[in-house]
Amino acid sequence: MSPTASRRAERDTCVIVPTIREYDCIRAYVENAREHGFDTSRLEFVLVTEDFCETDAMRDTLEELDVSGEVFDGTRRERWYDEHGIAEYGHVVPAASHAETSFGLLYMWEHDRFEYGFFIDDDTLPHDGSDYFGRHMRNLAFGGDVESVRSDERWVNVLYQRADEHSLYPRGYPYSAMDETVETDTRTIEAGDVVASQGLWTNVPDLDAVRILMDGDLEGQAQTRTSAEDFPRDFVAAPGNYLTVCSMNLAFRREVIPAFYQLPMDDNEWDVGRFDDIWSGVFLKRACDVLGAEIYNGRPLCEHNKAARSTFDDLHNEVAGLELNEHLWRIVEDAGEGADGYAEIYGAMADRLAEGSFDEFRNGAFFNHVGECMRDWLACLDALDRVPAAADD
């Protein structure tokens, strides 16, 4: 085997970056990996972008950094679907939407060499002095005692540790679950139980538009900022409790992909957007509770440098789904009980949504649409399983 083939055969980690502008952020992540001795030959970057973006420059950057990677604009994604005989499922990944991160999951699923996946947003940077990839990997391998958090509302605010000072709740946290009473204790986790590692964020907090407006900011950011001191301890949410899962700084095991579809948003007749990672996190947490698995939260932190934009534009994209977000978790909270795998649990949640009647909610039919897309997601993965394994050239 040639040295190049040997190097590529070692790749076990797929780094998925949705980007239309700030793709240069990958330089900082590669430099961080090398600074801390993380073997970059394990990494393959998948940049999910659009036809109007600088795809050649993105490829040049990967080559200059001497890391493996692929760039998929809209045209290349369509060709990939055709080549794999799954063009009928092209609709499960919406174009020009943050939810197109799901394409990276399909790419991972096709290549069974990938044991781990990362989601990195292009408006983030790793913290100086923080071993970004190494810390996420240690979280996924964690076994031992960790803080476990619960509330009387059955929702955990991932910003709870300094909430008395900043009063922030993250994007996707239900308004009906605010003013919760928080309880913590210590729980022992067995090595192998952690299937996702959610790193949190400094600088611009991940808030929805209503909360940004309440914070007095019209530029889509926030007047209140977070710092490393706001996250003194790592934690998990107790079984039966939900939490917001943001995909800007996240690592996960391959096994969760059937239950980790980033939900179709933005391009739909109901104009529902901005809940793709939030709802996928609800489904993943439900599956974890059934299977005794864990989502680990805290470090490594990233610096979130959200670009200024109209808060009212974000509000327009979110308002159609705000009511639905209050109820989604209750609809699926007992689905899949007794199942023994992520796909089976996810299928039960998909059925609950696809076949339910939600006329009491504004845009309730979007739940049916989501359920059908979830079914298609599982069918798409099954179809990929029947495609001959791709050569690791």
Taking the C-alpha atoms of residue 197 and residue 294, their distance in angstroms, rounded to an integer, is 9
Segment 156-190, tens digit of pLDDT: 999 999 999 999 999 999 999 999 999 999 999 99
- Please state the rounded mean pLDDT for residues 196-208: 97
Name which of 338, 290, 281, 261 is nearest 155 in CA terms: 281
Least confident residue range of 147-151, 225-229, 326-330, 387-391: 387-391
**317-354 burial: b if 16+ Cβ within 10 Å, else e:** bbbbbbebbebbbebbbebbeebeebbbbbbbbbebbb
What's residue 95's pLDDT? 84
Give yes or no for residue 270 having a pLDDT over 70: yes
- How many angstroms separate the CA atoms of 22 and 33, rounded? 19
Q: What is the pLDDT of residue 249?
A: 98
Token representation of residue 77: 């994604």
Hey, how many other C-beta atoms are within 10 angstroms of the C-beta on 183? 11
How do residues 78-132 score in pLDDT, each as one tens digit?
999 999 999 999 999 988 888 999 999 999 999 999 999 999 999 999 998 999 9
In angstroms, the CA 114 to CA 384 distance is: 15
Interval 368-379: pLDDT, tens: 999 999 999 999
Q: Which range (2-16, 18-32, 248-262, 313-327) has the least confidence?
A: 2-16
Least confident of 6-15, 25-34, 101-110, 198-207: 6-15
Sequence ranges of the domains in the chain = 11-385
Q: What pLDDT does 9 receive?
A: 46
Q: What is the reported pLDDT for 182?
A: 98
Write down the mean pLDDT value for the chain: 94
User: 2 pLDDT exceeds 80?
Assistant: no
What local confidence, expressed as pLDDT, does residue 10 receive? 79
> What band does 390 get if pLDDT is binned at 50, 70 and 90?
low
pLDDT exceeds 50 at position 245: yes
Residue 193 is which amino acid?
A: D
Percentage with pLDDT > 90 across the chain: 92
Element (H, E) at 229: none
